[in-house]
Structure 1
Amino acid sequence: MARIYPSTLCLLLLAALPLICAHVIEVGASKKECFFEDLHVNDKMTVTYQVGGGGHLDIDFWLTDPTGNALAKQIKQSTGSASITAKRDGRHEYCFSNQMSAIADKLVSFNVHGVLYVGEEGTLILSTDTVAPIEREIRDLANGLKSVKDEQEYIVVRERRHRNTAESTNARVKWWSVFQAVVLFSVAAWQVYYLKSFFETKRAF
């Protein structure tokens, strides 16, 4: 079994933990927003996203390598995920496009997960199968933390979406009730006026 020194344990933990970046952006109507990550060969990156508001809650997403080849493409999705392993060094770009909508802006929440891969002495390349048990446990823990964070982000977006729907429904019910009350009082006032004028006409003859 490989000997694990305390001084290298933190390094292994840092190498195993994904670099998680959470963002919330607004993609305007007929526009797109693009971002990039500089990756090296065999680096892994995962992008997850959810549409939290606007229009039909859908967005176009694609991810390209440094040469412009599409590595992932998803059309009109409300939530999605794309994972890649870099085949070459360079800038990998991912975009969120709202160009299908001419009116509605979209609110998009997305996470970017990246794993550090280093091959120098004293570190570990996590993709290999020959890993020490403690290193495997650290990797599993890191993956578990990533899943928990993704689930929390998804719950937050769904809660915001449901709250907005409930508030919109409550506003519609309120104004519909006000409209009904106005119509009811208007009809009642018209009936009183009509009956009153009818009897006054009868007495005149």
Structure 2
Amino acid sequence: MLSQRTLTGWLRVTCLLLIFCRLSTSEKVLGVETDEFDFDGLPGAQHEFKIEIGAGREECFYQPIVKGGKLHVSFEVIYGGDISVYLRDATAPQHVPNVDAHVNVRDGVMLMSAEQAGAYAICLDNTASRMASKLVYVYLVTYVEEEWSKYRQEIEDLQLTVTNFSETIKNVQQSITDSLVHQASSRMNVIRDWYLITGNNTYVQRMSIAMCLVIVISSCVQVYFVRRLFRYTNVTSTKKPRA
């Protein structure tokens, strides 16, 4: 028979295995597996980094986006002054911000919706500065609203499943606790009954021995007195023969 701690441990291991199996089957991006980016199982890409742009230099990052996907880019210059940031189609000529641009700013946000699938370049331009480098924090995320809604629904369903499983575990633990309480009560009742039976047995034995002694003594007394009633002598008290 398994103890409560062992059974609880097995239930927790089973719950973790179910959650791991559920998460391991969802490592896809928009229903398609890819090895190009680390999407962390989300319906889109998410990157967060800091980069130093040297004086007179430009750095570009390329992000593929599916058709109908949305791109959100936030940036902020940590030190070094203003910088120019622009967003362009990867097929567009260099230094041509055909999507969005922020010129000589310290921070900003760029939003776009891709009408066609393809790669887009996020460029950090520090060519206007000949002496100072810039440290820039960049946060980039791409997603598709429909897929994101499905993903959220799957997460909510998973949370609901885990909640139901947790409730089941709590009910099982409560049942185990009730069973242990019932077993402890039964053991105490058995011990109480054993002491009661042992005491009754001792009482009956002692009373039986006492009654036997009383009966034996009473019998002896009765025999003695009955024999004395029928005992007589052939002479009188004066030693004369009886008539």
TM-score, with length taken from structure 2 = 0.42
Q: Which has the higher strand share?
A: 1
Higher Cα Rg: structure 1 or 2? 2
Instruction: Give the alignment's TM-score, normalised by structure 1.
Output: 0.50
